Amino acid sequence: MISDKQQLIIEKTAEFVKATLHNAEGGHDWFHIYRVWKNAMTLAKEEAADLFVVQLAALLHDIADAKFHNGDDSIGPATAGKFLAKEDVDSNVIVHVQNIIANISFKGGKHLLEFSSKELDIVQDADRLDAIGAIGIARAFSYGGFKNRRMYDPEIQPDLHMDKERYRNSQAPTINHFYEKLLLLKDRMNTAAGRKMAEQRHAFMEHYLDQFYLEWEGLQ
Ligand code: ADP
Ligand code: NI
C-alpha cells in the first residue's frame, strides 16, 4: 500500500518528469512515461512488488537517456537520485530506483545485467510493452519518419546480428525493425503478467504485418 506521503512524492515526481521532458522527442516524451507508468501499475497489481519503487522508477526511467547525453549512462540515475534526495526519500529506495534506471535499457539485444529485482522486472516489462502492439507500431513509424527511413523495401532483409553502433545508425526500413527488435520482445518478458499482455500486443503486430504485405501487393 502507498501512504499519503508516498502518494504526494509520486505526484511531485510526475510533475518534475513532465516539466523536464517538455521538449523531448516523440519516442521518449511525457506520454511515453505516462504509458509506462500505467503499464507498470497494471503489472504490479498482479505481481507482489513495492508499488512506491515501481512507480518512481517508471516515472524516472528516461529522465536523462544516455543517447542524448553523449552515451553517458550515469546521468539518468544521478538526476533521479538528486531529485529524490531533495524530496527526502529513503536512501535505500533511491538506490533501488537508480539501479532500475541503470539496468532497464535494451541496447540492440546485448546486455550485461548487474542487478535484479522484481521491481526492475516490472518496469522493464512496462517499458517493453510500450514498444509493441498498436502503440509500438505508431512509435516505430514515427521514429522511422523522423530518421527519414523507408517504411518498407522488399530488397533489404532484416539483420538480426547488429552490434550496438550499427543498431543505432541503421538506415534500414522501418518494417525491418519489427523483425530486429519488436517481434523478439514477447519472449524477453520477465513477469507472467507482462508475458500475457505482450502476447496480445504481439498477435496484433503479426496481424498488422499480414495485412501490410497484402496491401503492398494490392491483394486486399
Ligand atoms: P529504448 O529507449 O526503449 O531502448 P529506442 O530509443 O531504441 O528504445 O526506441 C524508442 C522507440 O523508437 C521504440 O518504440 C522503438 O521501437 C523505436 N525505434 C528504435 N529504433 C528504431 C528503428 N530502427 N526503426 C523504427 N523504430 C525504431
Ligand atoms: Ni522508456
CA of 105 from ligand 2 middle (Å) equals 8
C-beta separation of 79 from 64 below 8 A: yes
pLDDT in tens, 70-90: 677 789 999 999 999 999 999
What is the distance in A from the centroid of ligand 1 to the CA of 53? 25
User: Measured between alpha carbons, how far is 206 from 203 in angstroms, rounded to an integer?
Assistant: 5
Higher-confidence position of 130 and 164: 130
* Closest C-alpha to ligand 1, atom 23: 177
Nearest protein CA to atom 22 of ligand 1, as residue: 177
**pLDDT tens-digit map of 100-122:** 999 997 443 445 567 999 999 99
Span of 25-34, 47-56, 210-219 with lowest mean pLDDT: 25-34
Most confident segment among 16-30, 149-163, 183-197: 183-197
**What ligand 1 atom has the least distance to the C-alpha of 62?**
2
Residue 70 has a pLDDT of: 67
Average pLDDT over residues 145-169: 87
Q: How far is the CA of 48 from the centre of ligand 1 (A)?
A: 29
Pocket around ligand 1: residues whose beta carbon is below 6 Å from it?
Answer: 27, 105-106, 127, 131, 136, 139-140, 143-144, 170, 174, 177, 181-182
What is the percent of the chain where pLDDT is above 70?
A: 94
Percent of the chain with pLDDT over 90: 79
Which ligand sits closest to the CA of 31?
2
Q: Which of 33, 67, 143 to mutate to test the pocket of ligand 1 (most atoms within 8 A of CB)?
A: 143
Tell me what pLDDT residue 159 has: 85
From atom 2 of ligand 1, which residue's Cα is the shortest distance away? 105
Atom of ligand 1 nearest to the CA of 127: 3
Task: Please check the confidence at residue 1 and state whether its pLDDT lies above 70.
Answer: yes
pLDDT value for 108: 38
Q: Which residue has the higher pLDDT, 82 or 26?
A: 82
pLDDT tens-digit profile of 61-70?
999 876 667 6
Q: Is the model's pLDDT at 179 over the cut of 80?
A: yes
- Asked if residue 191 has pLDDT above 90, the reply is yes
